[in-house]
Chains A and B, each alone.
Chain A
Amino acid sequence: MTPLLQVEKLRKAFGTHEVLRGIDLQVNRGEVICIVGPSGSGKSTLLRCLNHLEKPTGGAVFLMGEPVGLRWKGRSLHEMTFNELARQRQRMGMVFQGFHLFPHKTALENVVEAPIIVKGVPRAQAEAEAMTLLDKVGMRDRAHYYPAQLSGGQQQRTAIARSLAMKPDLMLFDEPTSALDPELVGEVLATMRHLADEGMTMVVVTHEMGFARDVADHLVFMDGGVIVEEGKPSEVLINPRHDRTRAFLSRVISET
């Protein structure tokens, strides 16, 4: 069976600075993968390369066997345009550290926007589905609020509903709780846990070790642009084989 997402020899450099130095990773349907590591290790860049928000400088990402952002024409390989990429991007929902809700639209309008504009779903149907999603993330009673009137946690839960509205095959989370006040982290993690329980395929870049331990099927530890260690969270967290993993974990765990 082809994996949902396959990353092969992925490299990314900004100028001469190499951020990713050959990443291989496989995401199967229904799996939750957590990526942890010190800041600057390339986790976010890796996530952003998956949907080509950053253009990789080497290697490839395959979504159900299809190269992301690239297209074969006979024997030559062509880069896709922004609009050609849109079709692939809508299958990978993404949740950002900074939420990035559309500030001129209410929570409900944020959620229905893409289904109506991109997929051509009739407004009434889109709104009904959006209300179900907002209910799921606990935002039903705030559906008509603007982002500026919502707390960080509420904004992030709305952003999750907005991504889910496109019925993506997998969800990418880029440090979804890092910009939140500590007391608001729990509600967002609970929403993500719920999503994982429903069988959503998720790739999560996070600093929340508790979440990684409990929810991840597969834990990836990155440092210096490479995957240092990966495996079941219980193994990696409790019996790390590499010194770098051990050093990182002792730093993170002593903090909490």
Chain B
Amino acid sequence: MKRPAPSADRPSIHDIRPVPARNVGQWLGGAVLLAMGLLFLQILVTNGNMKWPVVADYLFDAKILAGLGMTLLLTVLAMVLGLAIGMVLAIMRLSSGRVFQWISWVWIWFFRGVPPLVQMIFWYNLALLLPEISIGIPFGPKLVSWNTNDLITPFTAAIMGLAFTESAYAAEMIRAGIQAVNPGQTEAAATLGMTRAQVLRRIVLPQALRIVIPPIGNDTISMLKFTSLVSVLALPDLLYSAQMIYARTYQTIPLLIVATLWYLLLTTVLTICEHMIEHRLKAAPGQKTRFWDLRFFPRHRSTHQSAEVQP
């Protein structure tokens, strides 16, 4: 084939910008998906069974808002407790004491293996196994005793199920975080005369937690949704409050939508928080980042620009 000769009506290659390559598949696929999305939206809006006015009526219902508060309380308590236990488990797992390592391993194995729903029901029925809980000298006299049924309310059973499950996952995350810290940090701290606890508290944990914060954020969002399991214990969280209302009014779908909207709102808020924290952590220490510096849909197109930024 003959090479096309440079012609007078064509500009020089040095004077002209090339037209970017187009991906026809992306455009076609995008159009199809967009059409399907619009169709779905149309169903949502026009289907009379959605009963949007009912949704609006119950969105800020006192019972729903109380349930929302319970969901938040459960999430926060379960996370705080789970992380605290997880931190202890992670440190035990990494200690040189064999018994510590072993107990931590068994705890993690157990609570990662048993579904939280099963646990909650089990904890709630603990009285069938241990009718009475006492504090006293082991194998000796009892000092104080409680009736297990007074101690284990639906709330405590729910917190135990959620927090213990979380503790197993948190332990593994924190352990990985601690192990990711350069061992030279511990050596440097040791040569300065720090004790084990000081090295851990002042040097290793602050660096480990920085690594672990993104997965913890992720876990918090999961936890928010896991709390809906407590409806089996008749604990009035967001879902159970909605269920109680529709059991009376038979407005099943609208009330589920009320709950859905609130769950979506909360996860959105948590996602934004997580993004901001992650963004601040990614910045080099000392580098100032602005509060609103977030990108939900980062564009990876301008490879030329990012190549130029490299020193």
In the complex, what distance in Å separates the CA atom of A146 from the CA atom of B207? 14
Q: Give B166-203 as 1s and 0s: 1 = Cβ < 8 Å from A's Cβ atoms.
A: 00000000000000001011011111111110100011
Q: Mark B261-274, 1 if CB is under 8 A from A, else 0.
A: 00000000000000
Residues of A at the B interface (CB closer than 8 Å) are 51, 53, 82-83, 85-87, 89-94, 96, 98, 100-104, 106, 113-114, 117-119, 145-149, 159, 162-163, 166, 172
Residue among B188, B190, B195, B203 with the highest chain A CB neighbour number at 10 A: B188
> How many B residues touch the partner, as a band?
20 to 34
Closest CB in chain A relative to B277 CB, distance in Å: 15
Chain B residues with CB under 8 A of A82: 190, 195-196
Contact present for A106 and B286 (CB under 8 Å): yes
Q: Does B38 contact A (CB under 8 A)?
A: no
Tell me whether A114 and B194 are in contact in the complex, defined as CB-CB below 8 angstroms, given that A100-B187, A145-B286, A149-B286 are known contacts.
Answer: yes
- Known: A89-B193, A100-B184. Is A117-B198 also a contact (CB below 8 A)? yes
A147 CB contacts on chain B under 8 angstroms: 285
Q: Please determine whether B193 and A118 come into contact, CB atoms closer than 8 angstroms.
A: yes
Binding site secondary structure of chain B: helix
B210 contacts across to A, CB distance below 8 A: 104
Q: Is B206 an interface residue (CB 8 A)?
A: yes
Can you spell out 17 A-B residue pairs with CB atoms less than 8 angstroms apart?
Answer: A83-B195, A87-B193, A89-B191, A96-B184, A98-B184, A100-B185, A100-B188, A101-B188, A102-B188, A104-B285, A106-B286, A117-B202, A118-B194, A148-B284, A149-B286, A162-B192, A166-B192
> A92 vs B192: C-alpha distance in the bound complex, in angstroms?
8
Contact in complex: A118, B187 (CB < 8 Å) = no
**Inter-chain contacts of A118 with B (CB < 8 A):** 192-194, 198
Q: Which residues of A contact B198 (CB under 8 A)?
A: 117-118
Q: Does B191 contact A92, Cβ atoms closer than 8 Å?
A: yes
Indicate whether A146 sits within 8 Å of B285 (C-beta atoms), given known contacts A86-B195, A104-B206, A104-B210. yes
Point out the residues of chain A lying under 8 angstroms from B203, CB to CB: 102
The distance in angstroms between the C-alpha atoms of A26 and B26, with both chains bound, is 74
> In the complex, which of the residues B187, B191, B202, B285 contacts A103, with contact meaning CB atoms closer than 8 Å?
B285
Question: Within the complex, what minimum Cβ distance (angstroms) separates A160 from chain B?
Answer: 12
Contact in complex: A146, B193 (CB < 8 Å): no
Chain B residues whose CB sits within 8 angstroms of the CB of A162 once the complex forms? 192
Give me the interface of B with A, judged by CB distance under 8 Å: 182, 184-185, 187-196, 198, 202-203, 206-207, 210, 284-286
Q: Which residues of A contact B202 (CB under 8 A)?
A: 113, 117
Candidates B182, B191, B206, B284; contact of A94 at CB < 8 Å: B191
Q: A90-B193, A104-B285 are known; give 7 further A-B pairs, CB within 8 A.
A: A83-B195, A90-B191, A103-B207, A118-B192, A118-B198, A163-B191, A166-B193
CB distance from A230 to the nearest CB of B (A): 25
Q: Nearest Cβ in chain A — how far from B174, in angstroms?
A: 17
CB distance from A241 to the nearest CB of B (A): 35
Distance from A46 Cβ to chain B, minimum over Cβ atoms (Å): 15
> Closest 7 A-B residue pairs measured CB to CB?
A90-B193, A114-B192, A100-B188, A94-B191, A146-B286, A100-B184, A146-B285
Q: B185, A149: Cβ atoms under 8 Å?
A: no
| B263 → A minimal CB distance (Å) | 35
In the assembled complex, the CB of B190 is this many whole angstroms from the nearest CB of chain A, namely: 6
Distance A107 CA – B163 CA, assembled complex (angstroms)? 39
B197: nearest chain-A partner, CB-CB: A83
Residue of B nearest to A145 (CB): B286
Give A53 Cβ to nearest chain B Cβ, in Å.
Answer: 6
Q: Determine the distance from Cα of A66 to Cα of B284 in the docked complex, in whole angstroms.
A: 44
Q: How far does the alpha carbon of A104 sit from the alpha carbon of B209 in the complex, in Å?
A: 11
The reply to whether B194 and A102 contact each other, CB–CB distance below 8 Å, is no
> Would you call B196 and A114 a contact (CB within 8 A)?
no
Q: Are B193 and A53 in contact (CB under 8 A)?
A: no
Write the chain B residue with the least CB distance to A114: B192
CA distance A149 to B287 in the complex (A): 9
B1 to chain A, nearest CB (A): 53
Contact across chains for B286 and A148 when beta carbons are under 8 A apart: yes
**Contact A163 B192, CB 8 Å, known A146-B284, A149-B284:** yes
Q: What separation, in Å, do the CA atoms of A93 and B187 have in the docked complex?
A: 11
Give A101 to B191 CA distance when docked, in angstroms.
Answer: 12
Q: A164 to nearest B CB, angstroms? A: 11
Instruction: Pick from B185, B194, B286: contact of A86, CB below 8 A.
Output: B194
Chain B residues closer than 8 Å to A119, beta-carbon distance: 193
Q: Which residues of A contact B187 (CB under 8 A)?
A: 53, 94, 96, 100
Cβ-defined contact, A148 with B190, below 8 A: no
Determine which residue in B193, B196, B206 has the highest number of CB atoms from chain A within 10 A of its CB, and name it.
B193
CB distance from B18 to the nearest CB of A (A): 39
CB distance from A222 to the nearest CB of B (A): 21
- With A102-B203, A148-B286, A149-B284 known as contacts, the answer to whether A51 contacts B194 (CB < 8 A) is no
